[in-house]
Each structure stands twice: as structure tokens, then as C-alpha cells.
């Protein structure tokens, strides 16, 4: 008998998490050859979701609860859950009911074809337009920076073999980015189409600032390509400056009476200054993350756990 570990980060889901758990139970019960456990991670939610998790865990020994000391973010909450997972396969999904537990065996059957990781994808995503736009930019960033295959569509609903999870939880640093950890561990990835439902209640916990922070985390945590791009940008600006300087000298030699424009001079200064500040900011982001890692800032801190 194989075992499924469901890891669910919980934030503002006091009214929905019990329904998600009930759907997992009924779905796994339809396949007698599978056992399961459910790991619910309270990411310091401001509502009463931890009380709901405690109640569910007391009623069912297959449910584990973890409560984090502060809001570390979805990816850190997943890392906390992965560290407690004991299944042959680990399934990650949302706490709001948008990712349907009833379709988990689509992922299971697909991964049993020989894949290491299988992502569900939505033919018709029921998300706010800025979330869809954010997902698009995140996909392009992942393709160019951390090596996501262009044919692969990633979502928060996916299944992973246990040996990949063991490799992922070895990552000791803050700012974990799950897709980056997956892509550096394996390229044996699959996709399967699933339904995307409306949220059971509430709104997404991600803001625009949160999505931007996630993108920055993604492209600075697992690749030095942005630094190489900064080098190329600096080289490009130097070439433009050289060509502009030669052009001005030639113009002055051929037309001694010509007045050099104040506007063009300021434009060049602002352009070059802006590029320098952008590159310095990018380098500073890397240096800051190195400093935080040296100080051993934690991925997460567990306040309480049950089962």
C-alpha cells in the first residue's frame, strides 16, 4: 500500500480548511490501495484556523498540525510540512478549495507513469487578472532564469516523489523557492489538466507586493544569470556612451558652430545613472541575501505542533 502526504499551508482559511480535509478523506477512501496523512501548516494566520486545525487533528490521527511563530510565507510553510511528511508521494495544494482534492488521483496516475514530479494545470484559471498576469511573468522568469521547461505549466497543485522531497528539505537557507528546488533536483517533470474552482471563501492572500517579492526571491535564490545580465547591460551602456562620444566629437569637428544640447546631455546622464543604480540595487540584493544566510536566518520557526 502506498501512502500520500497532503501538505497544505493555511492562511485565512478558518471557514474552508475543514471542507478541503473532508474532500481529501472521501477521495482517498475511493482507492483502497492508498493510505494518507494530512499536514496542515498554520502560517501565523490572523483568524482562528489554528483552532480548527487542532480540532481536526484531535478527531483524526491521520492529521498533523504545525503552527508557525510568524508569517514566513507559503513556500516556507510548505518546507515545514515537507519536513514532517512520511508518504511515498507528497501532494501540495491550497487551503481555499480552488485546487480540487477530488482530482488528486489524476496526479497520482500520471506520476506512476514514471515521472518524479507532476503539476496540475488549469485550462480555465479562475483567478483575478493580476494573478494570471503574475503567473505569466513568473513562468517566463522561471524559464529564463531557473530552467523551467517551456512546455511545463506549474501551479500550486502538484505531486512529488519522496526522494525529491528529501532533497528539497536539505536546503537550509531562508527564502526557499519550491519550483527552483524542484528544477535543480530533477528534469523528469509532467503535467496533467485539472479543474480550477472558485474559492470557497475570502480572497487570495497574495498582494502585488507579495508577488513581486516572490519573483525576486525566485530569480536571486537559484541563479546568477541576473548578475550576468547586469554585466551585459553595463557593457551595452558603455558601448552606447562610446558611440555617442564619437558622434559628438565628429559633429563638433565638422560643424564648429553647433551648440551641444543640454537636453541630450541630461538624458544621457539620467540613462546611465539609472542603469548604474539598477545594477547596484541588483548586486545589493544578492549581497543582502548572502548576509542573511550567513546570519542563519531561519526558514521557519514552529510555535506548536500536534500529532
Pick the closest to residue 45 from 97, 85, 10, 17 (CA basis).
10
For residue 266, pLDDT over 60 is answered with yes
C-alpha–C-alpha distance, residues 302 and 47, integer Å: 18
The answer to whether the beta carbons of residues 44 and 69 sit under 8 Å apart is yes
C-alpha–C-alpha distance, residues 307 and 296, integer Å: 28
The answer to whether the beta carbons of residues 62 and 36 sit under 8 Å apart is yes
- pLDDT tens profile 76-108: 999 999 999 999 999 999 998 888 899 999 999
Residue 181: all three cell numbers together: 528546488
Average pLDDT rounded to a whole number, residues 152-163? 93
For residue 267, pLDDT over 90 is answered with no
Q: Is 11 exposed, middle or buried (0-12, 13-18, 19+ CB in 10 A)?
A: buried
C-alpha–C-alpha distance, residues 293 and 224, integer Å: 16
For residue 199, pLDDT over 70 is answered with no
pLDDT band at 218 (very low <50, low <70, confident <90, very high): low
- The residues with which 64 forms a beta bridge, in sequence order, are 39
Give me the CATH code for the 2-223 domain, please.
3.90.550.10
For residue 270, pLDDT over 80 is answered with no
Radius of gyration (Cα) for the chain, nearest Å? 24
- For residue 125, the model assigns a pLDDT of 61
- For residue 132, the model assigns a pLDDT of 62
Task: Give me the percent of the chain exceeding a pLDDT of 90.
Answer: 48
C-alpha–C-alpha distance, residues 96 and 53, integer Å: 14
Which parts of the chain fold into alpha helices (H)?
A: 17-29, 49-59, 74-84, 104-111, 129-145, 162-168, 178-185, 208-221, 225-254, 262-294
**In the sheet that 158-161 helps form, which strands lie side by side, from edge to edge?**
189-194, 117-122, 158-161, 89-92, 2-10, 34-42, 63-68, 302-306
The answer to whether the beta carbons of residues 64 and 39 sit under 8 Å apart is yes
Strands 89-92 and 117-122: unpaired
Give the pTM. Answer: 0.79
For residue 58, pLDDT over 60 is answered with yes
For residue 222, pLDDT over 70 is answered with no
Mean pLDDT, the chain, whole residue set: 84
- For residue 164, the model assigns a pLDDT of 97
pLDDT band at 138 (very low <50, low <70, confident <90, very high): low
Q: CB neighbours (10 Å) of residue 293?
A: 14
Residue 37: all three cell numbers together: 496523512
pLDDT band at 272 (very low <50, low <70, confident <90, very high): confident
Residues 181-209, buried b or exposed e (16+ Cβ, 10 A)? bbbebeeebbbbebebeebbeeebbbeee
pLDDT band at 179 (very low <50, low <70, confident <90, very high): confident
- pLDDT tens profile 251-260: 767 777 766 6
Point out the least confidently predicted range of 4-13, 140-149, 180-189: 140-149
Amino acid at each position: 500500500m502506498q501512502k500520500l502526504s497532503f501538505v497544505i499551508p493555511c492562511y485565512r482559511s478558518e471557514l474552508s480548511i475543514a471542507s478541503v480535509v473532508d474532500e481529501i478523506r472521501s477521495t482517498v477512501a475511493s482507492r483502497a490501495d492508498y493510505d494518507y496523512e494530512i499536514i496542515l501548516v498554520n502560517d501565523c494566520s490572523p483568524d482562528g484556523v489554528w483552532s480548527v486545525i487542532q480540532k481536526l487533528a484531535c478527531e483524526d490521527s491521520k492529521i498533523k498540525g504545525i503552527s508557525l511563530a510568524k508569517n514566513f510565507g507559503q513556500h516556507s510553510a510548505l518546507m515545514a510540512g515537507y519536513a514532517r511528511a512520511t508518504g511515498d508521494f507528497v501532494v501540495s495544494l491550497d487551503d481555499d478549495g480552488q485546487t480540487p482534492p477530488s482530482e488528486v488521483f489524476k496526479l497520482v496516475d500520471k506520476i506512476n507513469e514514471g515521472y518524479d514530479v507532476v503539476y496540475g494545470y488549469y485550462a480555465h484559471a479562475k483567478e483575478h487578472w493580476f494573478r494570471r498576469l503574475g503567473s505569466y511573468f513568473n513562468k517566463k522568469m522561471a524559464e529564463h532564469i531557473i530552467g523551467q521547461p517551456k512546455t511545463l505549466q506549474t501551479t500550486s497543485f502538484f505531486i512529488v516523489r519522496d526522494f525529491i522531497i528529501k532533497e528539497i528539505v536539505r536546503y537550509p537557507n531562508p527564502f526557499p523557492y519550491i519550483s527552483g528546488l524542484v528544477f535543480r533536483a530533477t528534469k523528469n517533470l509532467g503535467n496533467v489538466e485539472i479543474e480550477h474552482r472558485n474559492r470557497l471563501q475570502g480572497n487570495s492572500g497574495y498582494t502585488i507586493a507579495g508577488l513581486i517579492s516572490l519573483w525576486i526571491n525566485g530569480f536571486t535564490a537559484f541563479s546568477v544569470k541576473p548578475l550576468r545580465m547586469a554585466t551585459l547591460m553595463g557593457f551595452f551602456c558603455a558601448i552606447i556612451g562610446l558611440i555617442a562620444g564619437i558622434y559628438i566629437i565628429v559633429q563638433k569637428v565638422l560643424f564648429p558652430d553647433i551648440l551641444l544640447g543640454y537636453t541630450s546631455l541630461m538624458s544621457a546622464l539620467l540613462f546611465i545613472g539609472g542603469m548604474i543604480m539598477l545594477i547596484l540595487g541588483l548586486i545589493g540584493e544578492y549581497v543582502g541575501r548572502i548576509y542573511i544566510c550567513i546570519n542563519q536566518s531561519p526558514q521557519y520557526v514552529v510555535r506548536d505542533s500536534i500529532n
